Amino acid sequence: MTDGNTAYDDSPAGMTHLGLVPAPQQELLTRAWSDVMVLMEDQWATSLERQEVFWINIWQRSGDAGKLPVDRVDELDEWSREMARHYGPDVVLDGYGLIVNPVGSKAQQWHVDYTDDYGTIFIPLTELRPENALQYAIVPRDLPQSVYRRATTDLDAVDLRLLAREAAWVSVRQLLAPPFSILKMDFGTIHRGIANQGDENRVLFWISVKRGADLLPAEPVVQVIGPA
């Protein structure tokens, strides 16, 4: 499943580096990336031109679109389900695909993905550098729930300034890592894509899980999230 070496861990409120993807699955992910760029050639190019973070759903639990016909997609699906077990037994696999932060993008709003019961494993296919790696925010474990609820009234636009005013501290972090690192983001982690000021488009493979069986709204195959 992984190389078994946990390199970094600030859970349960941030991210964990679980080691590197084994060589056979590295080839599987690289092939999926290549196939998606061919299958979605026009949408990929248009999305890059918009210079906004976007992702492509190879498979999503919501809706009935099925899987994108990438090579060895059934093997990719099986491996993604194995990876989802890092979150324990009480989750369902909600989807997997590619997420891209194009060169020249603008920073996203601070946000929590969908619900507090949503977690994602990110596997960079390009190097995570200070110029392109996502940021995430750690808050004190004793932060009053009333403060957290006020700051996260809108999960798509978390009020980090409110947290910074009312918490003892807020730590904003980046996790820099080489390609094929396995980075597990905890449930409910506050995070954002930054403005990509590097010289290459940052590409991640993502695997998302959810606690609870209720379905999220179906998304288009290509989903764009605009800047703050």
Say if 185 falls within a structural domain.
yes
Residue 117 has pLDDT above 90, yes or no: yes
Distant-in-sequence contacts of 22-31, Cβ < 8 A, 24+ apart:
25/79, 26/180, 28/72, 28/75, 28/76, 28/79, 29/76, 29/123, 29/125, 29/180, 29/205, 30/125, 31/70, 31/71, 31/72
Which tokens hold the place of 123? 């596997």
Count of the separate structural domains present in the chain: 1
Say if 1 falls within a structural domain.
no
Say if 77 falls within a structural domain.
yes
Say if 220 falls within a structural domain.
no
pLDDT one-digit tens code per residue, 185-202: 999 999 999 999 999 999
Q: E strand or H helix at 74, and its extent?
A: helix 73-84
Per the omega criterion (within 30 degrees of 0), is the bond before 12 cis?
yes
**3-class secondary-structure state, position 210:** strand
Contact (CB, 8 A) for 202 and 55 = no
Say if 219 falls within a structural domain.
no
pLDDT at position 2: 54
Residue 138 has pLDDT above 90, yes or no: yes
CA 166, distance to chain mean position in Å, is 28
pLDDT at position 224: 78
Say if 193 falls within a structural domain.
yes
Residue 182 has pLDDT above 90, yes or no: yes
Interacting residues of 165 by C-beta distance below 8 A, sequence separation 6+: none
Contact (CB, 8 A) for 152 and 217 = no
Work out the mean pLDDT of the chain and round it to a whole number: 93
pLDDT at position 228: 55
pLDDT one-digit tens code per residue, 3-23: 556 778 898 889 999 999 999
pLDDT one-digit tens code per residue, 61-108: 997 779 999 999 999 999 999 999 999 999 999 999 999 999 999 999
pLDDT at position 227: 63
**3-class secondary-structure state, position 150:** helix
Name the more confident of 55 and 6: 55
Residue 152 has pLDDT above 70, yes or no: yes
CATH number, domain at 155? Answer: 2.60.120.620
Q: Domain range for residue 39?
A: 8-210
Distances (CA, A) of 179 to 19, 23, 76, 127: 11, 12, 18, 5
pLDDT at position 213: 83
**How far apart are the C-alpha atoms of 169 and 159, rounded to whole Å?**
14
Say if 227 falls within a structural domain.
no
**How far apart are the C-alpha atoms of 100 and 205, rounded to whole Å?**
9
Say if 203 falls within a structural domain.
yes
pTM exceeds 0.75, yes or no: yes
